[in-house]
Amino acid sequence: MFHSARNRTIAIAIGGLVALTLSASFADDLIPQDSVIEAPTAPFVESPAPTLTPEETTTVLAEGESVTVAQEIGNSPISTPRPTPSATPKPSATTDPDLLIENETPTVEILISPQPRLTLHMPISLGIDPRSRSYLMNSIEFWGTSTYLACFTGYGVGFDVGTSGAIDDFQNDNFIVEGDRTPNLKISGTGAAIKSLLRTPGGIRINSASGALAGHSLSLSLTALTSAATDQSYCGASKAMSTSVFLPLKIDLGLVKGQGTLKK
């Protein structure tokens, strides 16, 4: 009698403990992962250091280094290749009008192979207000006179280029913007044209998909092309790529009482 009552009591107690432990684990799981903001209750405590190396992300593509992807695109629904004087005709019989098969269209190589020397700089971390859900980015630097495809990829963020709040996708022979206000933005044109767009007052604004920006990241790759195109496969052909992580700054807001002058 006593044994069974005691066993029941112990069993109930153990069951309760297990339930409490489980509920604690669930509560931990409920904490949103993007709440990386630290409450700066203690003054002058260092922000968490970024996990990446403390230098700007720099990727230099050595001259003569070849890329592994060299595709020909003819009738891509995403981007229409536009033969330009600088485009290299495919050295094959298909460019000979006499040998063209009916309904076959001439193709040109858009992707430059090997890729020319290209240097791309972006800060490895972007200091932001920890409450910030959006960031106007000006800190992208690259050099080169070629035509490029700039592929922006957001991890928990989307890109808004040009007019804020509007979809600025457009396309002409020399300049293409595709994927505005999405996490996958592609801009193709001359280096000067891309820089010009990125540095307009609207610039490129990065918006969090949900919650604060802190902890999210973005990457940018640049691929040299013979003419403007936004085929996704060209993004993967790039060897010039940088990544930036949003790092929350700590902020103090305070009131300073000034000296008052007493009237005699």
Binding of residue 262 to another protein (CB under 8 A): yes
Report residue 242 as tokens: 């940088």
Block residue for tokens 């930036």:
244
Of the candidate residues 92, 138, 145, 200, the single one contacting another protein (CB under 8 A): 138
Task: Please report, as residue ranges, which positions from 151 to 210 form the binding site for another protein (by CB under 8 A).
Answer: 164-165, 205
Rounded (10°) CA dihedral 82, 73, 227, 237: 170
260 binds another protein (CB under 8 A): yes
The residue range among 3-11, 68-76, 172-180, 226-234 that interacts with another protein, by the rule CB under 8 A, is 3-11
Residue 35 binds to another protein (criterion: CB under 8 A)? yes
Q: Which of 23, 86, 88, 200 binds another protein (CB under 8 A)?
A: 23
Q: Give me the least distance between CB of 224 and another protein, in Å please.
A: 16
The torsion angles phi and psi of 173, rounded to 5 degrees, stand at: -65, -30
Q: Interaction with another protein in 60-99: which residues (CB under 8 A)?
A: 60
Judged by CB under 8 A, which of 84, 94, 113, 134 binds another protein? Answer: 134
Q: Which stretch binds another protein (CB under 8 A): 40-48, 181-189, 221-229, 232-240?
A: 40-48
Question: Measuring CA to CA, which residue among 230, 221, 248, 149 is closest to residue 191?
Answer: 149
**Using an 8 Å Cβ cutoff, are 81 and 74 in contact?**
yes
Nearest distance in Å: CB 209, another protein: 15
How far is residue 125 CA from its own chain's centroid?
A: 12
Cα–Cα distance for residue pair 156/244, rounded to 1 Å:
13
Tokens of 164: 């804020």
CB of 125 to another protein, least distance (A): 6
Q: Is 40 in the site for another protein (CB under 8 A)?
A: yes
Residue 242, beta-bridge partner list: 220
